[in-house]
């Protein structure tokens, strides 16, 4: 790579900006990554608080705390949007992606450091807009899917939905700029000798994710613009009275929305691959298969969107196609699951905290994947459409999948980021507490859904009382686990042991473990040569 | 360095073009989606105005039921003049709906339509219909709104639709978007047509159907 010669031109400017300038003006991938993670933590607390409030209301039948049902809808909407756009994406892509990708490919920074800065601050502005939306004009009670006609001016006359649309526009622009930055960095700035087929799987996962963002986000932006003009400027893209069709919104939204769920989980796949390999002290099983499984999940992800719309009146042949295409996704996903297990097989496994989280991820993601296969069938889906079964499914793949992978990455890389190791015992307690509590929280939702309890309703029939109470106890325990997590962050910063460049030993072969801990402000200014470290995994 | 910069710029430029293209595709989806429905009869969209094609009337018959709905913001009464008709396949027949403005102001309405089962859409052809244009009713005015249509005999040759014995033709009347006091969207008095790209494309599709006469206004 020609980039090698350039690094010395940057010379040894060990000048590190200080104070607010360091953060507001930051062009450093590590600082920007850190800011993304702080944003994700703030988003996680806000979004989490909303979900705990929802579970508080749902703990027993009847109306306890939320007698304004629009407010309940706003809680559900804001919880969903915040968790998607302001927790999972900034943590995995903006946070760990920014921090780790340049380190892993031997690049001194991202390709466009200033664009990186604007990506972050656009997202921060988007979060402020979204919270503003929830506080004005009755709030957006549309669900994260913002379906018209509910989101039309007729049913949401205030400015709340407009604010939410603008927030999503900004978040989309942020992701789009970030995606372009990642693709350019990964394609152009790899260390000499690191071919695409020798890149660590985490880098592969970010590359595929960035392409999904690049293709999906503009479609959301287009659809949101149509909705905005429908609401404010008299167009009727989605208004039947003017010749439009609300179903068109669903097609456009889910053409974005389905790739979006892979955008949230693919970086997690990358993290799990690194961690399973490190703690099994073996290269990952079937490296190329793993990489191309992610590519094919990304490709197939674009042609299955209507499986979210089985009940809109698609004809039977169309539904048959979307059922078949959706089921096909199980094949590359199965390749990944079995390859992780095969990596562990015969390995010299260390059950440190990151490995516990990774194994927890695999177990729980399989549960979510299996219920996904159930839901993929149009016939079954018609029965459980919009019930808690769906809620259970997507929380198993996201709340227990993507979020577990965030914690995996946190415990795996925190030593590299801060130079201090997390407290091992507390980390394990955090894992087991979370593992038990989230299962207590979400598993009963399968039963509730199969019994027919509908989503997005603040009250329910008495028959559903038992499992709802169990679920709410799970939510309470999850809140305790979250407090414990923040205590662990505090302990890591104040009392964590100093760590060497590579605290994980021989299993950790990727380039980020060759720089000292904490990773200095400028890294890889001399481009590392890959030599025969082969494969990268 | 300059070389690497240039390559970074090239890749980023190409990616921006891709992103811009996807925004374009999202907007292209609007007319394409409607065209797709018109051409394939998707979602029960009937075919429009293909009366030139002579269709042999056979002996077989099919029952057509009529369904009329009014959006809650439109103070009209709207009902079919006949509940159902038995029609010979390929025969062009005329049916009527009756609409009455029960408010004290003139109102412009527009109707959307489809047929169920959806798969019958491609075989259900409307020759002329009041739904092709907006309808204006004075206070208290009642009009009969005609629709002429035929059912393509091919419907019983296609194994996917062979079993259909009943087709329901459904209309829903809405207050027209440009009508003052309508759904509250847009500022009254602005030129809706300039902004209403979507409606424009619908009109285009209807113009292709070569029917533009206002039937309801006497």
Q: Mind listing the pLDDT tens digit for each residue in A110-165?
A: 999 999 999 999 999 999 999 999 888 889 999 999 999 999 988 999 899 999 99
CB contact under 8 A, A313 and B20: no
What was the pLDDT predicted at A5? 41
Which of A217, A223, A243 is opposite residue B198, by nearest beta carbon? A243
CB contact under 8 A, B8 and A188: yes
The answer to ipTM > 0.85 is no
CB contact under 8 A, A111 and B12: yes
CB contact under 8 A, A235 and B197: yes
In this complex, how many residue pairs, one in chain A and one in chain B, have their CB atoms less than 8 Å apart? 147
Q: Is B108 helix (H, G, I), strand (E, B) or coil?
A: strand
- Please, is B75 exposed, middle or buried when counting C-beta atoms within 10 Å of its C-beta (0-12, 13-18, 19+)? middle
Tell me the mean pLDDT in the region A47-61. 96
Distance from the Cα of B181 to chain A's closest Cα (Å) equals 12
Residue A357 and residue A404: Cα distance in Å, rounded? 6
Crossing angle of the two packed helices A113-135 and A160-188, in degrees rounded to 10: 160
Determine the residue among B29, B73, B168 to mutate to test chain A binding: the one whose Cβ has the most chain A Cβ atoms within 10 Å: B29
Confidence class of residue B131 from pLDDT cuts 50, 70 and 90?
confident
Which of A112, A218, A235 is opposite residue B12, by nearest beta carbon? A112
Question: In the structure encoding, which two tokens stand for residue B99, read together?
Answer: 């609409």
Please give the distance of CA A67 from its chain centroid, rounded to a whole number.
32
Name beta bridge partners: B85. B64
Taken as a whole, chain B contains a residue count of 218
- Percent of chain A residues past pLDDT 70, beyond the cut: 96
What was the pLDDT predicted at B184? 40
Confidence class of residue B119 from pLDDT cuts 50, 70 and 90?
confident
Which of B18, B30, B182 is opposite residue A248, by nearest beta carbon? B30
Residue B13 has pLDDT above 80, yes or no: yes
Confidence class of residue A295 from pLDDT cuts 50, 70 and 90?
very high
Residue B19 and residue B147: Cα distance in Å, rounded? 45
- Percent of chain B residues past pLDDT 90, beyond the cut: 22
Q: What is the mean pLDDT of chain A?
A: 92
First to last CA, chain B: 76
pLDDT in tens, A269-292: 999 999 999 999 999 999 999 999
Contact list, B199 vs chain A (CB under 8 Å)? 236, 242-244
Residue A471 and residue A490: Cα distance in Å, rounded? 29
Residue B91 has pLDDT above 80, yes or no: yes
Lowest mean pLDDT segment, chosen from A241-250, A425-434, A479-488: A241-250
Taking phi over 0 as left and psi of -120 to 50 as alpha, with beta for the rest, A239 belongs to beta
From A334, A457, A312, select the one nearest A381 (Cα to Cα): A312
Tell me the mean pLDDT in the region B97-124. 87
pLDDT in tens, A81-118: 999 999 999 999 999 999 999 999 999 999 999 999 99
Q: Is A37 helix (H, G, I), strand (E, B) or coil?
A: helix
What was the pLDDT predicted at A49? 96
Question: In the structure encoding, which two tokens stand for residue A276, read together?
Answer: 């399973």
Q: What is the mean pLDDT of chain B?
A: 76
Contact list, A184 vs chain B (CB under 8 Å)? 8, 11-12, 15
Residue B112 and residue B41: Cα distance in Å, rounded? 14
Distance from the Cα of B162 to chain A's closest Cα (Å) equals 15
Contact list, A233 vs chain B (CB under 8 Å)? 186, 195
CB contact under 8 A, B1 and A221: no
Residue B215 has pLDDT above 70, yes or no: no
What was the pLDDT predicted at B203? 34
pLDDT in tens, B162-214: 889 999 998 888 888 776 654 444 333 333 333 333 333 333 333 333 223 32
CB contact under 8 A, B7 and A188: yes
CA dihedral (A316, A319, A321, A323) in degrees, to 10, reads -130
- Whether this prediction's pTM lies above 0.90 is answered by no
pLDDT in tens, A24-42: 999 999 999 999 999 999 9
Residue A239 has pLDDT above 80, yes or no: yes
What was the pLDDT predicted at A387? 96
What was the pLDDT predicted at B46? 75
Q: Is A79 a catalytic residue?
A: yes
Confidence class of residue B55 from pLDDT cuts 50, 70 and 90?
low
CB contact under 8 A, A2 and B11: no
Lowest mean pLDDT segment, chosen from A94-98, A407-411, A467-471, B119-123: B119-123
Question: Cβ of A418: how many Cβ atoms within 10 Å?
Answer: 19
Residue of A258, A282, A395, A446 with catalytic role: A258
- Please, is A417 exposed, middle or buried when counting C-beta atoms within 10 Å of its C-beta (0-12, 13-18, 19+)? buried
Which of B8, B42, B118 is opposite residue A184, by nearest beta carbon? B8
Contact list, A230 vs chain B (CB under 8 Å)? 185
Kindly give the pairing relationship between strand A497-498 and strand A420-421: antiparallel
Q: Which helix (H) or strand (E) holds B168?
A: strand B166-175
Residue A359 has pLDDT above 80, yes or no: yes
Residues 6 or more apart whose Cβ sits within 8 Å of residue B15: A179, A180, A183, A184, A214
Q: Is A522 a catalytic residue?
A: no
Contact list, B118 vs chain A (CB under 8 Å)? 313, 315
What was the pLDDT predicted at B197? 35
What was the pLDDT predicted at B153? 86
Tell me the mean pLDDT in the region A245-254. 93
Which of B1, B11, B198 is opposite residue A9, by nearest beta carbon? B1
Residue A35 and residue A209: Cα distance in Å, rounded? 20
Q: Is A10 a catalytic residue?
A: no
Confidence class of residue A6 from pLDDT cuts 50, 70 and 90?
very low
Residue A71 has pLDDT above 50, yes or no: yes
Measured at the CA of A387, the angle between CA A385 and CA A388, to 5 degrees, comes to: 140
Tell me the mean pLDDT in the region B103-107. 89
CB contact under 8 A, B198 and A2: no
What was the pLDDT predicted at A443? 97
Residues 6 or more apart whose Cβ sits within 8 Å of residue B130: B97, B111, B145, B146, B147, B215, B216
Which has the higher per-residue pLDDT, B115 or A118?
A118
Contact list, A107 vs chain B (CB under 8 Å)? none
CB contact under 8 A, A240 and B174: yes
Q: Is A175 a catalytic residue?
A: yes
What was the pLDDT predicted at B49? 64
Residue A535 has pLDDT above 70, yes or no: no
Residue A220 has pLDDT above 70, yes or no: yes
Question: Cβ of B163: how many Cβ atoms within 10 Å?
Answer: 8
Q: Where are the alpha helices (DSSP H) in A281-377?
A: 287-300, 316-328, 330-344, 353-376
CB contact under 8 A, B43 and A179: no
Backbone φ, ψ for residue B48 (5° rounding): -120, 130
What was the pLDDT predicted at A14? 60
- For residue B182, the 8-state DSSP code is S
């Amino acid at each position: 790579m020609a980039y090698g010669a350039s690094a010395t031109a940057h010379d040894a400017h060990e000048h590190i900006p200080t104070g607010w300038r360091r953060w507001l003006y930051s062009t450093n991938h590590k600082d920007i990554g850190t800011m993304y993670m702080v944003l994700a933590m703030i988003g996680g607390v806000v979004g989490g608080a909303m979900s705990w409030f929802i579970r508080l209301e749902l703990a027993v039948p009847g109306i306890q705390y939320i007698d304004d049902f629009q407010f309940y809808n706003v809680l559900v909407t804001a919880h969903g949007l915040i968790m998607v756009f302001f927790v999972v994406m900034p943590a995995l892509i903006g946070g760990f992606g920014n921090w780790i990708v340049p380190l892993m490919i031997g690049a001194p920074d991202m390709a466009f450091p200033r664009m990186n800065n604007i990506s972050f601050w656009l997202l921060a502005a988007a979060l402020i807009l979204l919270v503003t939306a929830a506080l004005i004009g009755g709030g957006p009670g549309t669900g994260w899917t913002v379906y018209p006609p509910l989101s039309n001016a007729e049913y949401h006359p205030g400015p709340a939905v407009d604010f939410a649309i603008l927030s999503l526009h900004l978040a989309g622009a942020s992701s789009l700029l970030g995606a372009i930055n990642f693709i350019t960095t990964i394609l152009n700035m790899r260390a000499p000798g690191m071919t695409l087929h020798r890149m660590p799987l985490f880098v592969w996962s970010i590359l595929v994710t960035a392409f999904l963002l690049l293709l999906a986000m503009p479609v959301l932006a287009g659809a949101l613009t149509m909705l905005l003009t429908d609401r404010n400027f008299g167009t009727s893209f989605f208004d039947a009275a003017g010749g439009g069709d609300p179903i068109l919104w669903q097609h456009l939204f889910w053409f974005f929305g389905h790739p979006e769920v892979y955008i949230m989980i693919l970086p997690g796949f990358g993290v799990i691959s690194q961690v399973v390999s490190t703690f099994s002290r073996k290269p990952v099983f079937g490296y190329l298969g793993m990489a191309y499984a992610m590519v094919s999940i990304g490709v197939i992800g674009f042609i299955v969107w209507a499986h979210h719309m089985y009940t809109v009146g698609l004809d039977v042949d169309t539904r048959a196609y979307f059922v078949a295409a959706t089921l096909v996704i199980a094949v590359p996903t199965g390749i990944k699951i079995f390859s992780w297990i095969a990596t562990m097989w015969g390995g010299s496994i260390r059950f440190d905290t990151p490995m516990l989280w990774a194994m927890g991820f695999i177990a729980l993601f399989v549960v979510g994947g299996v219920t996904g296969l159930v839901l993929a069938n149009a016939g079954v889906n018609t029965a459980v459409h919009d019930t808690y079964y769906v809620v259970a499914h997507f929380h198993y793949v996201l709340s227990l999948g993507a979020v577990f992978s965030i914690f995996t990455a946190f415990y795996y890389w925190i030593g590299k980021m801060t130079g201090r190791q997390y407290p091992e015992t507390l980390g394990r307690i955090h894992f087991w507490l979370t593992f038990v509590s989230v299962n207590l929280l979400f598993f009963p939702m399968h039963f509730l859904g199969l019994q027919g309890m509908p989503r997005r309703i603040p009250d329910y029939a008495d028959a559903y009382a038992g499992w709802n109470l169990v679920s709410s106890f799970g939510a309470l325990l999850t809140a305790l686990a979250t407090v414990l997590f923040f205590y662990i962050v505090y302990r890591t910063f104040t009392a964590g042991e100093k760590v060497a460049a590579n605290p994980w030993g021989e299993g950790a072969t990727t380039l980020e473990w060759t720089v000292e801990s904490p990773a200095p402000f400028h890294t890889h200014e001399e481009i590392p040569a890959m030599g025969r470290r082969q494969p990268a995994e | 360095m300059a070389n690497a910069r240039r390559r970074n710029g090239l890749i980023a430029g190409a990616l921006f073009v891709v992103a811009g293209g996807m925004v374009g595709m999202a907007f292209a989806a609007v007319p394409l989606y409607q065209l797709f429905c018109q051409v394939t009869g998707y979602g029960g969209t009937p075919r429009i105005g293909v009366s030139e094609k002579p269709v042999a009337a056979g002996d077989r018959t099919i029952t057509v039921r009529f369904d009329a709905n009014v959006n809650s913001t439109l103070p009209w009464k709207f009902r079919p003049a006949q509940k159902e008709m038995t029609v010979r396949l390929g025969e062009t027949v005329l049916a009527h709906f009756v609409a009455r403005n029960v408010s004290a102001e003139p109102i412009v309405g527009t109707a959307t339509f489809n047929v169920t089962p959806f798969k019958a859409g491609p075989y259900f052809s409307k020759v002329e219909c009041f739904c092709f244009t907006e309808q204006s009713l004075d206070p208290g005015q009642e009009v009969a709104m005609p629709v002429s249509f035929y059912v393509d005999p091919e419907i019983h040759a296609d194994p996917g639709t062979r079993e259909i014995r009943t087709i329901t033709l459904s209309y829903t009347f809405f207050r027209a978007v440009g009508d003052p006091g309508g759904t509250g969207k847009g500022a009254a008095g602005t030129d809706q047509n300039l902004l209403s790209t979507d409606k424009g494309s619908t009109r285009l599709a209807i113009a292709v159907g070569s029917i533009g006469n206002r039937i309801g206004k006497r």
